A and B are shown apart, each in its own frame.
Chain A
Amino acid sequence: MAIFNEPLRYSLPEGDKPGVANPLGVFSRPRSETGLKDWLTTVDHKKIGIMYGSAAVFFMLIGGVAALLIRIQLATPNSNFLSADAYNQVYTMHGTIMIFLVVMPIGAAFANFLLPLQIGARDVAFPRINAFSFWCFFLGGLMLNSSWFLGGGADGGWFNYAPNNGVAYSPSHGIDFWNVGLLITGIASLSGAINLITTVLNMRAPGMDLMKMPIFVWMSLVTQFLLLFAIPVITVAQVLLLMDRVFDANFFNVEQGADPLLWQHLFWIFGHPEVYLMILPAFGIVSEVIPTFARKPIFGYPFMVFSGIAIGFMGFGVWAHHMFVSGIGPLSVTAFALSTMFIAVPTGVKILNWVATLWGGKLTLNTAMLFSIGLITQFTVGGLSGVTHAMAPSDTQQTDTYYIVAHFHYVLFGGALFGFMAGFYFWWPKVFGHMLNEKWGKWNFWTMVVGFNLTFGPMHILGLQGMPRRMQTYDDAMGFNLWNFWATVGSFILASGVLLFITNVFLSLYRWNKAGKPNPGPDPWDARTIEWSIQSPAPEHNFDYDPQIVSVDDFWHQKYAEDENGKLRKVAHGADIAQPGNGEGVHLPAPSYWPLLLAASLPLIGYGLIFSLWLTIPGGFLMVVSLYGWALEPADDLDLPHGHDDHKSDHAEIASTVNV
């Protein structure tokens, strides 16, 4: 890695004076190390990761309130708690927020925070683009949610089928907000994907071959490739819709001969890889947590890697199973039913490998581990119900019923979100320097398990009893009363589980402060990967020097070795061999205003498209200024604290001790 082996110096081209303070004479360079300004201008992948996570939890509260509103409305038959119009907005926004503003960004939060730490890099490949990605996501999400106050949210479902998404059928601006907001978050995902793929492929520490990377890195890499290829497709679909709604084009105008199935195809070509890119980071997380607390290596590392790649690859070949009843013809149905069946294979491999990792392990059942086991069991339910409707004939009875709602909540909530919870409990000390309370954590876990299964378990039954999705209300005579009532009870238990987590966050912080901020040490879990070989919380510069990677779970192998009898012994404690966190001489990329400003120009243009094209002029102006401001600003600021210190000799010394 150049960044370590080279003196950490960013050479400037001739003509540029070092430390140009205000490149366009607009701003002076942001300098603050703390406070709001620091967060707004930071390019540190860890801070950006924290911001991704906090923003996602913030959006999760909005989406969660929407979910509770849905459940209150459906608790009793013929309820008028929400009007048909309000219900359609609430369920559409619930789905959209949970997918695009919660599950995807939490995955991005973990990827941002962990990828550089797990591959032994100092930051991502393009720190400013990283900041730009975050601000695009956050401002796009805010813009999407501003629709609540500006004439109502989108009301076409998260899938937004044509032609119901046209102005004729949805005259409010809700779908325009949906469209533009998600275009902006799409830019975030795409630039983030390019950035993180480059980081993983190109910035690994010495010795870290691809097949020595932690599983989480692998799963995130596959996720980013899925984003790279799926986002452009939804972008095109949304641009077509934008053209139709704002500029009066005819892409979905049936009168002009348009085919509404085009939207369905484009949407699901994106939509199905989307499902996998939401679950794969969680798979990666539990693949780190389970070996750590089973005290065993992951079972079948290569199979875990290749099954992840296979899921990613096959994820692009199954989209039309969302369209089995659209009348695409039996040939297409057959082909997609078969491909859908077989994507169960790599998924099953993963589950069985986790189970095999548990087998014979000495399991420490702390909260992170409990959530991981929760993922295995609940995702299995979701996966198996998936197999039942991969059968196209049964799917004609099950699609668009609550059976499907149950299925994907088992996958995305019982799977992805439980995995993320495991990740929160596991990496919290590395992120914030203190542990989350275990006792509250266990309450949190059990409340969520009970609430989750009580909410979504009955939905299997409701769906098979014939309750369709997206129904504002149902009739007393349909026989759906009982299980809807229990699902609503469950949803409130589930919500209190989420509140317990948030309480735990603040409570743990409070108690930690009160106890005089004890440091949990670099390696509180006796963990396996190299992010635990640096101090907690992770120092701003990550690594003092290049970690030298010899094997998978390299840090674990530094701690354990066989004694003369061939028995594994702990030979070193994590805290003793961890890097001291001395950032002397490390020079980091400087913070910048431009990513934030460039990202801010996009919602401005978006509001312009929705309300008045004149508004796009200031937006466009800000965009051009930001682009040039960004381009002309040196990414580095030599006047920054930390100072620039040429430690060439030190580095040479470290390099010479390396065994490759």
Chain B
Amino acid sequence: MSDAAVVAEQATDHVEDEHAGHATSLNLSNMKLAMWLFLGSECLLFGALISTYLLSKARFLTEILAGNPVVVDSISNPTLVEEMRAAGSVEPLFDIPFTSLSSFILLMSSLAMVLAHKAISEADYKNLRIWLGTTALLGSFFIAGQIAEFTAFKEEGLSFTGSLLGSAFFTLTGFHGIHVSGGIVMLMTLLVLSFKGKLNQDRAETVELVGLYWHFVDVVWVLIFTIVYLIP
């Protein structure tokens, strides 16, 4: 919630960032400093979610290997349980090529975002709109991929309420997904403002701030992709 407020403040709020652009004690913009502090705080948030996931995965796997009937029954696809036992990991659950594509899309959106910022700092409003739109679109593709993946998991029996792993996985990726969605809303807002002619070069910092947020969300996915998907 608070990030939404911070972001809302920064998205169109000119006052703070106006005088922030002028001299301050550190000669830095207030909004940008606040954004970085917020991102520093977010590290603790995602760190807690990732550790929760790691612990839950370890405990889930122990139960599966030990054959705890409650946990085994929570996965409706019995072959999957067999595969997990054989592999000694939860790896068989994941569809790595699909997720790799998602990760690639998100990386690409980061590029689009940085190009959007470049465009507005050069007062190139046409390119600004193109790249803002592209970023939002790629983000939406990523979210669509998430939804597809969640549905597939649900069919295999890894549900949010069914097992410890499910709860941890969906909460971690869901939290990330909410962050991406929030970013998309901000990007769309910027796009509308731009079309209304209210997003000019003197507000390049607003785009930069949304960009910082967007790149951070991307970076978190870089971690999640490796830790959750690639490392068994």
Contacts and interface: CB of A to CB of B under 8 A. Distances in A.
Q: Do A and B touch (CB < 8 Å)?
A: yes
Contact of A235 (B8, B45, B56): B45
Contact of A13 (B20, B70, B200): B200
A508 B13 CA distance: 43
A636 B15 contact: yes
Contacts of B5: 129, 132, 191, 598, 627, 630
A2 interface: yes
Contacts of B1: 187, 602, 623
B22 interface: yes
Give the most central of A14, A631, A635: most B CB within 10 Å: A631
A16 B13 CA distance: 12
Interface string A214-248: 00000000000000111111011101100110011
Interface in B170-223: 171, 175, 189, 196-198, 200, 202-203
Given A2-B24, A129-B9, A602-B1, A247 B200 contact: no
A632 interface: yes
Nearest to B74: A256
Looking at chain A's contact residues, the main secondary structure is helix
B52 A240 contact: yes
Contacts of B49: 236
Given A1-B25, A13-B198, A631-B9, A6 B48 contact: no
Contact of B34 (A194, A237, A630): A194
B68 interface: yes
A617 B200 CA distance: 35
B198 to A, nearest CB: 5
Contact of A190 (B2, B28, B59, B197): B2
A175 interface: no
Given A126-B16, A228-B37, A251-B52, A6 B167 contact: no
Looking at chain B's contact residues, the main secondary structure is helix
B42 interface: yes
A10 B197 CA distance: 20
Interface stretch (A146-154, A196-204, A390-398, A482-490): A196-204
Contacts of B162: 250
A85 B2 CA distance: 35
Contacts of B168: 251
Nearest to A199: B30
Interface in B32-82: 33-34, 37-38, 40-42, 44-45, 48-49, 52, 55-56, 59-60, 62-63, 68, 70-71, 74
Interface of B: 1-2, 4-6, 8-9, 11-16, 18-20, 22-26, 28, 30, 33-34, 37-38, 40-42, 44-45, 48-49, 52, 55-56, 59-60, 62-63, 68, 70-71, 74, 160-164, 166-168, 171, 175, 189, 196-198, 200, 202-203
8 pairs of A and B residues whose beta carbons are closest in the complex: A635-B15, A2-B22, A236-B48, A232-B45, A249-B167, A257-B63, A232-B44, A191-B2
Given A10-B18, A15-B196, A634-B15, 10 more contacts: A125-B30, A129-B6, A194-B38, A198-B30, A229-B40, A243-B171, A250-B162, A256-B60, A630-B9, A631-B189
